[in-house]
Amino acid sequence: MAVARPAAAQQVVLERHVSFQVESQTIESVLKQLEKQLDVHFVYSPQLIGSNRRVTLRVADQPLEQVLNELLAPRKAQFEVRKGRVILSQARADANAADVPVSGRVTQPNGQGLPGVTVVVKGTNTGTTTDADGNFSLTVPQGSVLSFSFIGYNPQDVTVQEATTTLRVSLQENSQSLDNVVVVGYGTLDKKK
């Protein structure tokens, strides 16, 4: 859902009422009609709003804020007013997104636990490693993606939708990556009598 965070003086732009009807028109053409009718200017990325997406709207004496919320909701875009321009942008991650506890087990294809697997919240530095039995536990933002990786296995991503204690991940072997591993050791050991 689109979110508006206007200052008091800029709220006036979003409170302007509009009436129009469009059938199967692109979002870009709808925004141009709004610009003409309300004497405002929209700033946006065509890819962000899906400017070629066709919509049908019937609006009767509705505030611009409500029309934009309806128009932009499928793209999860937000808008704000700056210097008389309505800027459409990517919705920011919700700072209040609930953190949920996640735990589970990472196994090999044969079902045995896999120790030492790196479990990281994708795009962050938050993570952990699995214990000797392949178990892990951490708290992550709801909707985040956990990335599981270990040398010799294909990495796997899992989206966390809610708190869970039963996440099961089976990593598949990748024999090609083992061909690239070289172990080097240095040192001497004297046998004492």
Q: What are the structural domains, with CATH classification, of the chain?
A: 15-90 (3.55.50.30), 99-171 (2.60.40.1120)
DSSP string, 19-74: EEEEEEEEHHHHHHHHHHHHT-EEE--HHHHTTT-EEEEEEEEEEHHHHHHHHHGG
Rounded to whole angstroms, how far apart are CA atoms 87 and 41? 9
Rounded to whole angstroms, how far apart are CA atoms 59 and 70? 10
pLDDT means per 10 residues in the chain (193 residues)?
48 84 89 89 84 85 86 77 82 64 93 93 87 93 88 89 82 71 68 68
Q: What share of the chain is helix, strand, coil (3-state, %, to 5)?
A: 20, 40, 40
What pLDDT, in 10s, does the model give residues 37-88?
888 888 888 887 888 888 888 888 888 888 888 887 777 778 888 887 888 8
Rounded to whole angstroms, how far apart are CA atoms 32 and 43? 11
Task: Output the pLDDT for position 4.
Answer: 45
Q: Is the overall model pTM greater than 0.75, yes or no?
A: no
Joined tokens for residue 48: 């962000």
